[in-house]
Amino acid sequence: MEGQKQQNIQKKSLKHALFEIYDKKYKMLLVIPLLMLLLALIQIGYQISSTGDFIKKDVSLKGGVTVTIPYEKDIDISQIEKQISSKFPENDVVVRTLKSAGSAVGIITEADIDGNDKAQVQNLLDAVESSLKIDLSVVDYGIEIIGSSLGASFFKESLIALAVAFLFMGLVVLIYFRTFVPSMAIILAAFSDMAVALAVINLLDIRVGTAGIAAFLMLIGYSVDTDILLTVRVLKRKEGAVMDRIISSIKTGMTETITAIVAVTVAMLVTQSEVIRQIMIILLIGLIADIFNTWIQNVGLLRIYIERKAKKGIII
């Protein structure tokens, strides 16, 4: 009994110590999300300087050829990819397994070659045929060609849609709250979530397609949800102290975020679709980043805003 009581006391003291840091050192804690954003922007800047683009695009966004072949044998994907890539040293080649119910049913090979160049397309087919040791003339394979101009058009339109969605989100927030600092805090949190997610997928060497752009659009909604919840409870509600309202927001918001993280993680692990997996990975990274950007960054900025208002005699 004494040991159990001692453990409970230690847990309470640790919880109290963490709360004290969160309550009293909130300005110092702002360094964490701001450092995350800075590192993300540095990575994105490096990505632009080294590759000429801020994101690694797949065939659907930059054009190329995709070959899908029925294939049920277990193979070393990385080795096959190296063999095909050796024939196209100046192009990006990606090979992945197509699965159904956990079993391999096909091989997908993507290469950013000119689909209008019949010789290059044939060279790709020959390389796939050689590496897999099969005769494509007796295999019912599929081939999809996306022109570079069409891929560039998809990418441009996707970026426009993303920018417009972000712009309208910002306008709605500004119109609703009608105060600059809280509105900018919400917009900054959403931007930080997207920047961190982008930097991490670049580091993971994930090639983003149209599905990935859709995931970033979804992330805007996920990001502002908890931020608006926090801001409404802190600024619009009057009952209780400011910190009480923040704690109430954390309980509700973290329940939402953890539920979403669990759902996204399960979907990512269970799905056999690379498209869905890419969406889930981006959402998962963004949701984890949002914990820091909402409950440390946004909370800190709101408390600074409230303190400055209080010094002017305005009680919130």
- Here the CATH number for the domain that contains residue 32 is 1.20.1640.10
> Are 39 and 112 part of one and the same domain?
no
> Are 142 and 170 part of one and the same domain?
no
102 pLDDT above the threshold of 70: no
Q: Does residue 120 form part of some domain?
A: yes
Domain count, the chain: 2
CATH number of the structural domain spanning residue 105: 3.30.70.260
> Are 179 and 128 part of one and the same domain?
no
Average pLDDT over residues 247-270: 92
> Are 120 and 206 part of one and the same domain?
no
Per-residue pLDDT reduced to its tens digit, 3-47: 555 555 555 677 778 888 888 889 999 999 999 999 999 999 999
Q: Does residue 1 form part of some domain?
A: no
> Are 223 and 306 part of one and the same domain?
yes
pLDDT at residue number 12: 63
48 pLDDT above the threshold of 90: yes
Q: Does residue 10 form part of some domain?
A: no
- Average pLDDT across the chain, whole number: 86
> Are residues 233 and 245 in contact, defined by beta-carbon separation less than 8 angstroms?
yes
> Are 166 and 194 part of one and the same domain?
yes
> Are 128 and 238 part of one and the same domain?
no
Which pTM does this prediction carry?
0.84
Domain boundary among 77, 111, 146: 146
- Structure tokens given for 305: 């805003």
> Are 157 and 219 part of one and the same domain?
yes
Q: Does residue 8 form part of some domain?
A: no
Q: Does residue 83 form part of some domain?
A: yes
Q: Which residue has the higher pLDDT, 1 or 48?
A: 48
Domain boundary among 146, 169, 195: 146
Nearest to 178 by CA among 231, 226, 238: 231
Q: Does residue 122 form part of some domain?
A: yes
Per-residue pLDDT reduced to its tens digit, 125-173: 888 888 888 888 778 888 888 877 777 788 888 889 889 999 999 999 9
Average pLDDT over residues 270-285: 88
Q: Does residue 87 form part of some domain?
A: yes
> Are 116 and 164 part of one and the same domain?
no
Residue type, 148: S
Instruction: Mention every residue, 6+ apart, whose C-beta is less than 8 A from residue 175.
Output: none
> Are residues 287 and 203 in contact, defined by beta-carbon separation less than 8 angstroms?
no
Residue 84: domain span: 64-146
Domain boundary among 106, 124, 146: 146
> Are 35 and 74 part of one and the same domain?
no
> Are 155 and 97 part of one and the same domain?
no
> Are 220 and 242 part of one and the same domain?
yes
Q: Does residue 5 form part of some domain?
A: no
